[in-house]
Amino acid sequence: MLFSILFSIIIFVLFFFIEISLRLLNLRKTISPFNIFILSNIFFIIVSIISNLFFFKELLFDRYLVSFIYYNLYTIFYLHLFIGIAKSVSLRSMDEIYYFKQKMTIDELKKAYSQKDFFDHRIELLIKNKWLIEKDSIIRCSNKALFLVKINLFFLKLFKISDTG
Amino acid sequence: MINFVIINIAHTPLIFFFHLFYLRFRKNKIKFVYLINSLILSLIINFINLIIFYNSSILKIENIIIIITIQISAFLIYVEFFSMICRGFSLRILTDVYINKTVPKNKISSIYSSDKGYDWLLNKRLDSITNIGLIIREDYYYKLSNTGRVVSQISIFTKKILKLGKGGE
């Protein structure tokens, strides 16, 4: 049990260190949590194979499986915080208040965190990632967006939630 | 061990079903305590089923940790999914465009969330962080609480380290 816990912590710390280093060196800019999750799992598999070949030759597969379970919990925690910090409108609002000597009126906040910051950047991202299609400044959903929206509307009906956003 | 892990993973959808029960039969829908209750109920059912299908000797300390780890991992994924459905900014934009079929680019902010718009979005967010005590409303000002100050410092530091820019864009 101790091996699984320590092994998973060591690999996660290694992954996290590499992730931060690559970002600080501007070699990695993705904010896609799916991308980070897949990469973290690939990293675990590679390190496990190397450790099995050179260090822990007699270790059973079960130990790696248990380590993988713990490792994924740390990764999911990290992604949870990552998505929250990267995308959160609430946190951005708080950060603007913090920069502005920690006290702001709503109008000052609207100037600092403008509609342009809010919407324009996100819309450009959605167009760039082909969720929205722009033609002559008219926007419509792409096919993959249609699929996602229908799933969203299904769950909103299931959960009986009306006010979203 | 693989069978044990698979059985535990198979129990994780219980979180969704218990939470769905709360959402459909409770008046006040968006409460974090319903999510926690769903996790606890799912864990209890998981343990009971394991004791029935194996026996109580399955409950060694390592197995208990594995069960809890798998359930918490699934819980965090579900929380993220539910948060996206309820508050997802991009998803709401896509939904509004879908409902309106086509939208002029400069009108998207005004039709946001069934024509509620940017002001509604900002006020809603400010109200929710005021309710959880991260900011305080004083007359016309919004001020960070002590907790809010700490949260903001951590957020700014993390954004710098991970080069995430200002965030919320």
pLDDT digits over B121-168, tens only? 888 888 888 988 999 988 888 899 999 999 999 999 988 888 888 887
pLDDT digits over B101-127, tens only? 899 988 888 888 878 888 888 888 888
Question: Can you give the residue range of the structural domain that contains A76?
Answer: 2-87
Mean pLDDT within A89-115: 84
What distance in Å separates residue B107's CA from the closest CA in chain A?
10
Beta strands in chain A (DSSP E): 103-105, 132-135, 138-141
pLDDT category of residue A70 using cuts at 50, 70 and 90: very high
Predicted confidence at residue B166, as pLDDT, reads 81
pLDDT digits over B13-58, tens only? 999 999 998 888 876 666 788 899 999 999 999 999 888 888 777 7
User: What is the average pLDDT score of chain A?
Assistant: 88
Predicted confidence at residue B72, as pLDDT, reads 95
Mean pLDDT within A89-111: 85
The pTM of this model reads 0.87
Q: Is residue A23 a part of any domain in this protein?
A: yes
Lowest mean pLDDT among A82-86, B56-60, B91-95: B56-60
The residue ranges of every structural domain in chain B are: 2-87, 97-131, 134-169
In this predicted structure, the answer to whether residue A3 has a pLDDT above a threshold of 70 is yes
What distance in Å separates residue B52's CA from the closest CA in chain A?
23
Among the candidates A87, A111, A134, a domain finishes at A87
pLDDT category of residue A144 using cuts at 50, 70 and 90: very high
Predicted confidence at residue B29, as pLDDT, reads 60
| Token pair recorded at residue A127 | 């167009």
* Cβ atoms A160, B106 nearer than 8 A: no
Q: Which residue has the higher pLDDT, B98 or B122?
A: B98
Q: Are residues A60 and A94 in the same domain?
A: no
Measured between CB atoms, does B36 come within 8 Å of chain A? no
Q: Are residues A16 and A72 in the same domain?
A: yes
Q: Find which of B3, B12, B98 to mutate to test the A interface (most A CBs within 10 Å of its CB).
A: B98
What Å distances lie between residue A124 and A68, A74, A118, A120, B112, CA to CA? 37, 32, 11, 6, 16
Mean pLDDT within A15-27: 86
Q: Is residue A33 a part of any domain in this protein?
A: yes
Contacts 24+ apart (CB under 8 A), A139-142: A139/B97, A139/B102, A139/B103, A139/B104, A139/B105, A139/B108, A140/B97, A140/B101, A140/B102, A140/B103, A141/B94, A141/B97, A141/B98
Among the candidates A61, A87, A113, a domain finishes at A87
In this predicted structure, the answer to whether residue B4 has a pLDDT above a threshold of 70 is yes
Among the candidates A53, A69, A87, a domain finishes at A87
pLDDT category of residue B86 using cuts at 50, 70 and 90: confident
Test B143 with A102 for CB contact under 8 angstroms: yes
pLDDT digits over A47-57, tens only? 999 988 888 77
CB pairs under 8 A between A and B: 236
> Taking CB atoms and an 8 Å cutoff, what residues of chain A touch B65?
1
Q: What angle do CA A81, A82, A83 make, to 5 degrees?
A: 95
What is the C-alpha separation between B43 and B14, in angstroms, rounded? 9
Q: Are residues A81 and A67 in the same domain?
A: yes
Q: Are residues A142 and A155 in the same domain?
A: yes
Predicted confidence at residue A101, as pLDDT, reads 76
Which ipTM score applies to this complex? 0.86
Predicted confidence at residue B41, as pLDDT, reads 94
In this predicted structure, the answer to whether residue A28 has a pLDDT above a threshold of 80 is no
Cα A150 to the chain's mean position, in Å?
23
Q: Are residues A149 and A75 in the same domain?
A: no
Domain count, chain A: 2
Q: Residue for token digits 């992604």?
A: A79
Q: Are residues A44 and A115 in the same domain?
A: no
Q: Is residue A77 a part of any domain in this protein?
A: yes
Q: Are residues A101 and A68 in the same domain?
A: no
Q: Is residue A119 a part of any domain in this protein?
A: yes
Q: Are residues A63 and A138 in the same domain?
A: no
